[in-house]
Amino acid sequence: MCGIVGYVGQEQASPILLDGLRRLEYRGYDSAGVAVYDGQGGIRVVKAKGRLQVLSDLTQEGTALPGTIGLGHTRWATHGEPSDVNSHPHMSQRGKFAVVHNGIIENYMELREFLENQGVTFASQTDTEVVAQLLEYCYNGDLMATVQKVLHRIRGAYALGILCRDQPDVLVAVRKDSPLILGLGEGFNLLASDVTALIRYTRDVVYMDDNEIALLSTAGVQVFDAYLQPVDKEPQRVDWEISAAEKGGYEHFMFKEIMEQPKAFRDTVFPRIVNNRVVLEDLSLTPEEVRDIDHIVIIACGSSYHVGMVSKYILEKLLRKPVEVALASEFRYSDPFVTERTLCIVISQSGETIDTLAAMREAKRLGAKVLAIVNVVGSTIAREADHVLYTWAGPEIAVATTKAYSTQLAVMYLVGLYFADLMGRIDSNTYDAIVCELLRIPSKMESILENKEHIQYFASIYFNHDSIFFIGRNIDYAIGLEGSLKLKEISYIHSEAYAAGELKHGTISLVEDGTLVVALASYGQLFEKLMSNVVEVKSRGADVLGLTTQRLKESMEKTVDATMAVPDTHPMLLPSLDVIPMQLFAYYVALMRGCDIDKPRNLAKSVTVE
Ligand code: F6R
């Protein structure tokens, strides 16, 4: 999604803004721009469709745009096609205001019509421009009062950065339903939509809350509520290293993050196992509250939803309680059935996905308890949930998630074991066996990653297929969903995941000579059933690539064209191993097809619009 960065200080702003935008590139964008106060009574804007390099060239790495205060933006088009003119920052007609915006102004049509009737001429098709024009229309010499007035007129979700020509020593930042963070420095201050844009300059940050307005100057930062009353905000310290958000010699962030999974899994799980017991010190649910849960609803989007799908099988088996999995975008509009004995588990890497956030708020409104599993510390979902467990994956930059998926799953195992123990649903032998295997997962992940060339070889055979099905039963089906999503989002190959038994109820009609079917069969008790489905697709001309465990490999090889095998482990933990060949397969296929792996078309890292 769009990225915002703002700087006020004594250095030249443009190079800092461009650097910040570069660090936000991973979020996905189609155009970029900067606005800088020129020190002589004017705001200069340079913006361009395309990669950041275009903007960098146009401004000679920022040197052609002098000034010590400014705003930058990377745009992911919503209203109006990607173009130079629709890029941000947007200026008001007489050049008094420059505005950058993430989110959507829902009533922009009516505001635009109103302003046009007042003689305002619009330059772009965007919803954002109405904010700049409205600011100029309402301006009465008092910047904060003008901003407040405009906020009363606009509806929707927004993070705004505002620069006013008449008060060129301050930036105004506004937040509602779209993240915005303030970076505190010595003699300078910053604002950004994502901490990665700030981390090179400062580790001291303030997370803005909804309906807050901040005023940034060289001297300091003040935060106000919607009534312009000062708000005391506690600065937080960001402790991850800048290198964590850099490629470190790898060709792609996605590959780096795939390779980081053993470490991410260790960091997430090991500190929470003490004397072979799961200890969730950071979980604020009391044992009584856990025992009182009679129903669990897992809410998430995309890959996080797929973690929920796997977790349903695991939690139901461990807890013998009903577990539903809901797409966040559906949950909030479905008149959901939850009670105060329902635990809603919300899963989100970014902690900012708007659908997940809205669904969480709805669940809370209905009286459910909410436990969030989140990667980004201080994110909105983490702050608003009743209880939080962090996935210590470190910053995830590639659009296609890998290590966040693995750590979300890891936290789910821990939650499952911890709850099962408190609820008296697990015997000590089973508990001990799972914990023991949990500690072995990282080294088993490493052994799969050491043999990655094997999967690269399969990708080189199959990368030209146009249609790929993933089939599996139960947990294998849930892993297939993730395998299919990984592949389609970065390689653009049409792909679907099916519960294998469903194929013959319609979809098998699409299987023909040359269709590739990835068959997942990790579980002994379902192996034969799955192999019957494999025979069905093979007899219709499909090429079949199998994924199974070492133990079942030989049996699978008899029927399929090629086999990938992961080490054996406790069945509950197999998804953590199975997903890695799926990620590598998608990665290598996309590489061979020459795709832009870290920035897949039309996709954004953090989806902050509905
Ligand atoms: C796919 C992917 C997305 C995210 C989804 C939810 O690789 O990354 O499907 O999983 O947009 O994002 P979070 O987890 O940040 O809420």
What tens digit of pLDDT does each residue of 235-254 get? 999 877 777 777 878 889 99
Range 501-514 average pLDDT: 88
Decide if pLDDT at 79 tops 90: no
Which atom of ligand 1 is nearest the CA belonging to 607? 11
Range 562-571 average pLDDT: 97
Q: Which of 416, 443, 393 is nearest to 566 (CA)?
A: 443
Range 369-398 average pLDDT: 94
Q: How confident is the model at residue 595 (pLDDT cuts 50, 70, 90)?
A: very high
CA–CA distance, 258 with 587 (Å, rounded to integer): 9
Distance 402 CA to ligand 1 centre (A): 10
Decide if pLDDT at 26 tops 90: no
Decide if pLDDT at 604 tops 90: no
Range 70-85 average pLDDT: 88
Q: How confident is the model at residue 378 (pLDDT cuts 50, 70, 90)?
A: confident
475-491 helix and 574-592 helix, angle to the nearest 10 degrees = 20
Which atom of ligand 1 is nearest the CA belonging to 356? 16
Range 44-55 average pLDDT: 92
Residue 270: per-residue pLDDT = 97
Torsion sign across C-alpha atoms 268, 599, 123, 197: positive
Residue 240: per-residue pLDDT = 75
Pocket test for ligand 1, best of 346, 349, 409, 603 (most atoms within 8 A of CB): 349
3-state secondary structure of 205: strand
Distance 306 CA to ligand 1 centre (A): 10
Q: How confident is the model at residue 598 (pLDDT cuts 50, 70, 90)?
A: confident
Residue 483: per-residue pLDDT = 98
The 8-class DSSP code of residue 400 comes to S
Decide if pLDDT at 118 tops 80: yes
Residue 247: per-residue pLDDT = 81
What average pLDDT does the chain have?
94
Range 103-107 average pLDDT: 92
134-165 pLDDT, tens digit each: 999 999 999 999 999 999 999 998 999 999 99
Decide if pLDDT at 608 tops 90: no
352 touches 375 (CB < 8 A):
no
459 touches 558 (CB < 8 A):
no
Tokens of 95: 């050049």
CA–CA distance, 301 with 360 (Å, rounded to integer): 12
Residue 547: per-residue pLDDT = 97
278-329 pLDDT, tens digit each: 999 989 899 999 999 999 999 999 999 999 999 999 999 999 999 999 999 9
Tokens of 91: 């200026």
Residue 232: per-residue pLDDT = 95
Residue 109: per-residue pLDDT = 94
Q: How confident is the model at residue 78 (pLDDT cuts 50, 70, 90)?
A: confident
- Residue 204, H or E segment: strand 204-207
List phi, psi (to 5°) of 48.
Answer: -155, 145
Distance 353 CA to ligand 1 centre (A): 8
Among protein residues, the one with the nearest Cα to ligand 1's atom 3 is 302
Residue 484: per-residue pLDDT = 98
Residue 565: per-residue pLDDT = 97
534 touches 476 (CB < 8 A):
no
CA–CA distance, 468 with 518 (Å, rounded to integer): 7
The b/e string for 485-504 (b: 16+ C-beta within 10 A; e otherwise) is bbbbbbbebebebbbbeebe
Tokens of 593: 């097809």
Residue 507: per-residue pLDDT = 85
Distance 75 CA to ligand 1 centre (A): 19
Which atom of ligand 1 is nearest the CA belonging to 306? 10
Residue 460: per-residue pLDDT = 92
Among protein residues, the one with the nearest Cα to ligand 1's atom 11 is 302
Pocket test for ligand 1, best of 353, 406, 487 (most atoms within 8 A of CB): 353
Strands (DSSP E) contained in 38-123 are 43-49, 69-75, 90-91, 97-105
Residue 243: per-residue pLDDT = 73
Q: What number of H helices and E strands is found in the chain? A: 20, 26
Decide if pLDDT at 1 tops 80: no
422-431 pLDDT, tens digit each: 999 999 999 9
Q: How confident is the model at residue 368 (pLDDT cuts 50, 70, 90)?
A: very high
CA–CA distance, 534 with 545 (Å, rounded to integer): 10
Residue 605: per-residue pLDDT = 72
391-414 pLDDT, tens digit each: 999 999 999 999 999 999 999 999
Distance 192 CA to ligand 1 centre (A): 21
The 8-class DSSP code of residue 209 comes to P
Residue 332: per-residue pLDDT = 87
Which atom of ligand 1 is nearest the CA belonging to 405? 10
Among protein residues, the one with the nearest Cα to ligand 1's atom 10 is 303
Residue 515: per-residue pLDDT = 92
Pocket test for ligand 1, best of 194, 253, 327, 350 (most atoms within 8 A of CB): 350
Among protein residues, the one with the nearest Cα to ligand 1's atom 5 is 302
The identity of residue 490, as a single letter, is I
Residue 27: per-residue pLDDT = 76
Distance 509 CA to ligand 1 centre (A): 31
Among protein residues, the one with the nearest Cα to ligand 1's atom 9 is 302
Decide if pLDDT at 514 tops 90: no
Distance 589 CA to ligand 1 centre (A): 20
pTM over 0.85: no
Which atom of ligand 1 is nearest the CA belonging to 303? 10
413 touches 271 (CB < 8 A):
no
434-485 pLDDT, tens digit each: 999 999 999 999 999 999 999 999 999 999 998 999 999 999 999 999 999 9
268-283 pLDDT, tens digit each: 999 999 999 999 998 9
Q: Which residues does a 6 A CB cutoff place in the pocket of ligand 1?
A: 301-304, 348-350, 353, 356, 400-401, 485, 489, 606-607
CA–CA distance, 336 with 264 (Å, rounded to integer): 34
Place of tokens 């133990």: 551
Which atom of ligand 1 is nearest the CA belonging to 486? 7
Q: How confident is the model at residue 212 (pLDDT cuts 50, 70, 90)?
A: very high
Tokens of 537: 């697709």
Neighbour count for residue 232 (Cβ, 10 Å): 5
Pocket test for ligand 1, best of 76, 303, 396 (most atoms within 8 A of CB): 303
Distance 166 CA to ligand 1 centre (A): 41
Annotated catalytic sites, by residue? 2, 605
Q: Which of 568, 299, 323 is nearest to 425 (CA)?
A: 323
The identity of residue 268, as a single letter, is T
Tokens of 248: 């470190």
354 touches 331 (CB < 8 A):
no
